[in-house]
Structure 1
């Protein structure tokens, strides 16, 4: 039986229909998942999400990519308001965001621009009972995101008045990581888990937990000791996942993470 706090991200099998992904989750015993907003635009996909026994823990949404925070003229707000309505319809309690790139703005100016743009969406999300989260992501995603360390994501969340999605793949090398987690986790609505094999240079370059160098058990022990009570989301994508086969990699990941959470007493 897979631990009930394990979640699986749709990105691993993004080309499959949502119904097929949800059936796969159920078949391997995963009870929660994260869905990608672009896959929820059809009535069929939304019906599958509403009707599935697998609970939708979160939706992934790209915010200001029209084309970036500096030049967005309102499409970002319109798009997120639409995703908030989708979340309400399918019963998803949260949406995690990539911010959009900074353009020519300084980080501080871009952060305020993000906060100003997201303000009406934050109010709509609160009314819908949906939490908005911003994640930390690799600097190689600077074209679509502006928060590239966990402290930066936490600061941005506070400026915007929203929560945090903690992406361990993007922060495991940071100094004072336990302190950074202690600061972020009171705002956290999701923790994302994968591994990294030293020497991989592609992006994305995720690996099945246990196959790489990230000291996941020690980090997750800290996450749990610091009081986090939410889901652990497996976000698996990249050449290693494709080479093994996404379904095989997801199954192995879910079992590995489940066993670890059991050992840690989650």
Structure 2
């Protein structure tokens, strides 16, 4: 199926529960606005998306104190269904559905997949608590929504690899949203939207299709530019201090070099 056909299925599913989803987002938007919905696409389509995920040796490994995961954004290297699935979420009608649910009028999908695309996590891989980079790759638009679509069949709650939201800060208990098969999670990104991915606990891969939406205006009036900012988990006292220094240094580099010292490779470089 192509992206337009997939988008029609996504729109139909979102519209079927849109008032409940709007209520879910509205109830959380004062801190970290979010909603999630299951059974976005027919099972056989999602199975095929997962089956065609690239081998991890064909993805890029990001491994540090901050994170440990595989990522891919150069979509013309992989099976076409993966690109079609990603860009289905950028279809105008899908974006309009998300606009209504989240009450955000100005939303722009990102054709370059800056920090989006595909991600895969194996046993012991993780993503520490962090704030997403506040802007797009050219630092012109504000990052406002993160769309995460989980495609691994039979991913049990005990497997780990789940999204964690920290609406009351990193010293308070987090909200866990399980990485359930065929589940779409949409969450707000701003300077207080701390989130993480719990370590994967099983010998299997948790696969995710992700998109970001941007806007000409930040979600919160007092939002300021920031690089991707990491912290340690509550029990990681030393790691937390190291990551504070790391974020401080990277932020000051970006004050001197608007787009960083080198180009971020996590983008879809299109031929034209």
Whether these two folds match at TM > 0.5 is no
Could you say which structure has the higher strand fraction?
2
Higher relative contact order (CA 8 A, sep 6+): 2
Could you say which structure has the higher helix fraction?
1
TM-score by length of 2: 0.28
TM-score by length of 1: 0.28
